[in-house]
Amino acid sequence: MPSSGLGGKCLSKMFRINYILIISWFFLAACNRTEIMSDSVYGDPGDGIDSIPVEAVLAEPANYTDRIMAVAGTVHEVCQVNGCWLMLRSLETGDGLRVHTEIEESGEYVYTVPTDISGRHAVVFGTLSVTEEDMEAHFQEDAPGKDPALTMIASGVRVSPEETR
Amino acid sequence: MAVMTKAGDWKSYQRVLLPPVKNLHQLHVYREHGGYETLKKVLTEMEPQDVTAEMKRSSLRGRGGAGFPTGLKWSFMPPVKPDVPRYLCCNADESEPGTFKDRQLREYNPHVLFEGSLVAGDGMSLKACYLYVRGEYADWITHMQKELANAYDSKLVGKNMLGTKHNMDIIIHKGAGAYICGEETSLMESLEGKRAYPRIKPPFPAQSGIWKCPTTINNVETLACAPLILGRGADWFASIGAEKNPGPLLYGISGHVNRPGVYEYPTGMLITDLLEIAGGMRGGKKLKALIPGGASVPVLRADMIEGVTMDIESLREAGSMLGTAGMLFLDEDTDMVAFLRRVAHFYHHESCGQCTPCREGTGWMENLITRIDDGEGNLRDLDLLLDLCDQMEGRTVCALADAAAWPVRNTIKRFREDFERRCRPAVWAVNA
């Protein structure tokens, strides 16, 4: 029937318009989301501290130990149990800096990081120190292999949303 | 010649948290002695980030037991979002056995706590503070409510504080007397009107606290230190007591001493000096053991306290913790098995029951220690108790299981002969 034929045409046109509108909405929403994606901060945001690349710190650790600083690098590994430590590694040499989150006297964590941030760019804030022997044993237990001689107890970690590797 | 300790010249120390001023709890007396001047300075002259920076510089560490740097904790609050409220919560649910120092502050100097809360509120850009007080402190709640009402009437709290554009409310919330509510996440659950089960972290309170909003939780004494730091300067505060854990500290001394009570001195005091201040051991008896920071911290034998000072580092080296600085001195006549039985009973009674290792473990702990105390225990029960501690520590949502296991583990380890004497031998003699 002509009327139904006309109705069918209108309906399919309406579906097409709706389809385009829905696709456009998803596209715009995605664009919008990309715009608002920003760094995630865990613990102290460490505002106002200029970061030093992990490569520079690992090259001359004596210049940086025992002072509060910010170190930037790529997250290589993260504690998969609690998110209580992460490893920043130099992409050039493969050397690493082990970063621990702060803990309370009772042994409770005051913040942790997500366990899925490997490959992301991060800036960590804290005091750099040479790894102590008793902690070394714990690291070997957690992540056996080549261990870094440098450790940082970080008061905060800033993780960027995009991967760097 | 007097030995110089980390506490410096403590004999000439002037009290600042509990100064010797009559009727200091009254608003007009508090103001006559410079009260709320720091708040005025903070509201009119300082930016929030300067407040937090000054707190960080002071190196103040939390006085509620965990000992975490306060300024750093404040900096964990996320950036302000206009549509998301933020809260400060004062943990005044002081329930740890042997700890009673915050009660003195609430009774004799409540306005320093209010002022500290308001200063902290400005530092973290928030508008409301909950004071969560344990239910057993009913009299002190009434006392504080009366003084808080006076502060509201004088425009020191609420809208347009001290004639500025700043607003902040303080709400006193009465707990129902559960020890678990002193744990920060269960405290938040209780505030929200739910059963006080601890929450799994993450998310941490700074991200998702009371009603899923950013929240910071501080102890009473910690907040009371804030107006002192911002009024007199971080350098002044950092110059008092132990270098890494500075400031004035309220020592709650109890047990078999001649003059139990709350004493204010710098951190880093020698334990032996504090014992002398408290009048020495009762009846001239010898010291047998010391619990330096509330019932949950490891017990120290008398021979372990020589040269040990009351600060985080020194006590850690000695094999214990500063905790709340609630010092319990036990004399040579103390039955360590009966003492541990009482402690175990407390933790069994106060376990919230959410996690199996804690709910069941604390019960079995009490049963085994009771059996030993009744003279029906076996030597193997001691190893069973230590094994039980292994099964409890680090296996629960909150730290109550650890807090219950530490005294058991350390009391058995450090006073094993006392326990062995009360146990039946492992092998019975057989009559031929």
Residue B1 lies in a domain: no
DSSP H/E element including A42: strand A40-43
B-chain residues within 8 Å CB-CB of A109?
201
Q: How far is CA B378 from the centre of its chain?
A: 36
For residue B87, the cross-strand partners are: B128, B215
Whether the per-residue pLDDT at A2 is higher than 50: the answer is: no
For residue B158, the cross-strand partners are: B168
Pairwise CB contact (< 8 Å): A105 & B204: no
Q: Are residues B292 and B217 in the same domain?
A: no
Encode B242-295 in three state secondary structure.
CCCCCCEEEEEEEECECCCEEEEEECCCEHHHHHHHCCCEHHHCCEEEEECCCC
Pairwise CB contact (< 8 Å): B67 & A104: yes
Residue B10 lies in a domain: no
**Distance between CA atoms of residues B199 and B167, nearest Å:** 30
pLDDT, greater one: B432 or B199 = B199
Q: Are residues B121 and B41 in the same domain?
A: yes
DSSP H/E element including B27: helix B27-32
Confidence at residue A1, expressed as pLDDT on a 0 to 100 scale: 39
Pairwise CB contact (< 8 Å): B76 & A83: no
Q: Are residues B148 and B228 in the same domain?
A: yes
Name A151's Cβ contacts closer than 8 Å, sequence gap at least 6. A97, A98, A99, A100, A128, A129, A130, A131, A132, A135
Pairwise CB contact (< 8 Å): A105 & B73: no
The two three-digit tokens of residue A59, written as one number: 């090259």
Residue B319 lies in a domain: yes
Q: Are residues B63 and B168 in the same domain?
A: yes
Q: Are residues B394 and B304 in the same domain?
A: no
pLDDT category at A35 given cuts 50, 70, 90 is very low
Pairwise CB contact (< 8 Å): B402 & A107: yes
Question: Which range marks the domain in which residue B383 is found?
Answer: 336-422
Among residues B331, B358, B384, which one ends one of the domains?
B331
Residue B12 lies in a domain: no
| Among candidates B67, B72, B312 on the partner chain, residue whose Cβ is nearest the Cβ of A155 | B72
Residue B7 lies in a domain: no
- The average confidence (pLDDT) of chain B is 95
Q: At what angle do helices B220-232 and B48-58 cross, to 10 degrees?
A: 100
Q: Are residues B90 and B162 in the same domain?
A: yes
B-chain residues within 8 Å CB-CB of A132?
none
Question: Tokens 């600042």 map to which residue?
Answer: B16
Locate the chain B residue with the closest alpha carbon to A156: B76
Cis peptide before B203 (omega within 30 of 0): yes
Residue B428 lies in a domain: no
Question: What is the domain-level CATH number for residue B299?
Answer: 3.10.20.600
Confidence at residue A60, expressed as pLDDT on a 0 to 100 scale: 85
A-chain residues within 8 Å CB-CB of B404?
none
Residue B262: Cβ-neighbour burial (10 angstroms; 0-12, 13-18, 19+): buried
Pairwise CB contact (< 8 Å): B68 & A111: no
Residue B431 lies in a domain: no
Q: What is the pTM assigned to this prediction? A: 0.87
Whether the per-residue pLDDT at B280 is higher than 70: the answer is: yes
Among residues B205, B238, B271, which one ends one of the domains?
B238
Residue B81 lies in a domain: yes
**Distance between CA atoms of residues B136 and B395, nearest Å:** 30
Instruction: State the nearest Cα–Cα gap between A14 and chain B, in angstroms.
Output: 39
pLDDT, greater one: A135 or B221 = B221
Confidence at residue B429, expressed as pLDDT on a 0 to 100 scale: 64
Q: Are residues B197 and B90 in the same domain?
A: yes
Q: Are residues B139 and B183 in the same domain?
A: yes
DSSP for B84-139?
S--EEEEEE---STT--HHHHHHHH-HHHHHHHHHHHHHHTT-SEEEEEE-GGGHH
Q: Are residues B319 and B359 in the same domain?
A: no
A-chain residues within 8 Å CB-CB of B322?
105
Q: What domain count does chain B have?
A: 3
**Distance between CA atoms of residues B343 and B112, nearest Å:** 33
Confidence at residue A132, expressed as pLDDT on a 0 to 100 scale: 60
Whether the per-residue pLDDT at A5 is higher than 60: the answer is: no
Question: What is the domain-level CATH number for residue B351?
Answer: 1.20.1440.230
Pairwise CB contact (< 8 Å): B65 & A105: yes
Among residues B238, B269, B289, which one ends one of the domains?
B238
For testing contact with chain A, the best of B73, B207, B322 (most A CBs within 10 A): B73
Q: Are residues B310 and B387 in the same domain?
A: no
Q: Are residues B130 and B269 in the same domain?
A: no
pLDDT, greater one: A150 or B87 = B87
- Convert the pLDDT of each residue in B167-176 to its tens digit: 999 999 999 8
B-chain residues within 8 Å CB-CB of A116?
none
pLDDT category at A4 given cuts 50, 70, 90 is very low
Pairwise CB contact (< 8 Å): B66 & A41: no
DSSP H/E element including A128: strand A120-130
Confidence at residue A150, expressed as pLDDT on a 0 to 100 scale: 83
ipTM for the predicted complex: 0.75
Give residue A134's identity as a one-letter amino acid code. Answer: D
Q: How far is CA B423 from the centre of its chain?
A: 35
Pairwise CB contact (< 8 Å): A44 & B75: yes
Question: What is the domain-level CATH number for residue B115?
Answer: 3.40.50.11540
Q: Are residues B230 and B305 in the same domain?
A: no
Is residue B181 within 8 A of residue B209, CB to CB? The reply is: no
Average confidence (pLDDT) over B73-80 = 93
